[in-house]
Amino acid sequence: MPDDLLRLSKLMAQRGICSRREADVFIEQGLVSVDGAVVNQLGTKVSPNAEITLAPAARKQQSNLATIILHKPIGYVSAQPEDNYQPAIKLITRANQWGESRMRLQPAHMKGLAVAGRLDIDSQGLLLFTQDGRIAKKIIGDNGKVEKEYIVRVEGLLPDNRLQLLRHGLELDGKPLKPARVEWINEDQLRFVLTEGKKRQIRRMCEMVGLRIAGLKRVRIGKIRLGKLPEGKWRFLEPGESID
């Protein structure tokens, strides 16, 4: 067997068709065709140039995957509970759903729901949960280009040369950071626009240039804005809305 063949599920994930886990489910259900032939054996390897097609039933399953936008308050952790703090997913209840929507929260919406792009416990703002591996990959994948926008209240002095460093030139964990857009929006608040999300990245960047963060709020992921969503409330990503 040629060395350049790839596992079908891996290739589907690389192309953004679905996550590897979702690909395995579709393959087992006989909903994936390669070069016109149905493939239903897990672990099947195919050419990197293979034509991959999802059956209508698989596309329908994808359209039913839920994505939820939450306004996370300070004091909640994004994922697993720690140090007696509640995970933000606990806020996703019927009582906390905000606005008008064609959908109401059902138990099926919570199955496999995972954070895509964390916020630390001391930060607030837009936190996104999704069942859709395609969306998660766009936000947290290694080659992700989706912008994340933050409003950051800071204390301390920031000369122009250090502002330029925030925009480009800093390293974290031994690796250079991607260029960022950083600008003043008033006398004590900066706007950061990043395309990556290392752990506590903005806080660590500010520490490196002598700033202390007094408040950090994420207000946008891609085309999705926090808008008027109240703190502690959530809503579904609606048909017609997209990340990019």
Please, what is the angle between helix 20-28 and helix 133-140, to 10°? Answer: 160
The Cα 217–Cα 185 span in angstroms is 14
- DSSP-assigned states of every residue in 178-224: PP-EEEEEETTEEEEEES---TTHHHHHHHHTT-EEEEEEEEEETTE
Look at residue 1 in the predicted model and tell me its pLDDT.
46
28 and 74 in a single domain? The answer is: no
135 and 164 in a single domain? The answer is: no
Helices (H), 37-115: 56-63, 107-110
Of 137, 125, 135, nearest to 217 by C-alpha is 125
Q: What is the mean pLDDT of residues 36-63?
A: 91
Taking only the tens place, the pLDDT of each residue in 2-46 is 558 999 999 998 888 888 888 999 999 999 999 999 999 999 999
Is-above-0.75 flag for pTM? yes
Share of the chain above pLDDT 90, in %: 69
Average pLDDT, the chain: 91
121 and 230 in a single domain? The answer is: yes
Residue 243 above 80 pLDDT?
A: yes
Range of the domain at 124: 67-142+224-236
Taking only the tens place, the pLDDT of each residue in 159-179 is 999 999 999 999 999 999 999
Point out the least confidently predicted range of 39-53, 82-96, 128-142, 219-233.
128-142
Residue 134 above 70 pLDDT?
A: yes
Q: What is the mean pLDDT of residues 73-99?
A: 89
Query: Higher confidence at residue 111 or residue 141?
Result: 111
The Cα 50–Cα 4 span in angstroms is 12
127 and 228 in a single domain? The answer is: yes
Evaluate whether residue 209 is within a structural domain: yes
21 and 53 in a single domain? The answer is: yes
217 and 230 in a single domain? The answer is: no
Look at residue 81 in the predicted model and tell me its pLDDT.
67
Look at residue 124 in the predicted model and tell me its pLDDT.
97
Supply the CATH number for residue 192's domain.
3.30.70.1560
Evaluate whether residue 160 is within a structural domain: yes
Q: How many domains does the chain have?
A: 3
pLDDT band at 55 (very low <50, low <70, confident <90, very high): very high
Residues taking part in catalysis: 120
Taking only the tens place, the pLDDT of each residue in 205-233 is 999 999 999 999 999 999 999 999 999 99
Residue 63 above 80 pLDDT?
A: no
Six token digits for residue 32: 């994936």
162 and 202 in a single domain? The answer is: yes
pLDDT band at 101 (very low <50, low <70, confident <90, very high): confident
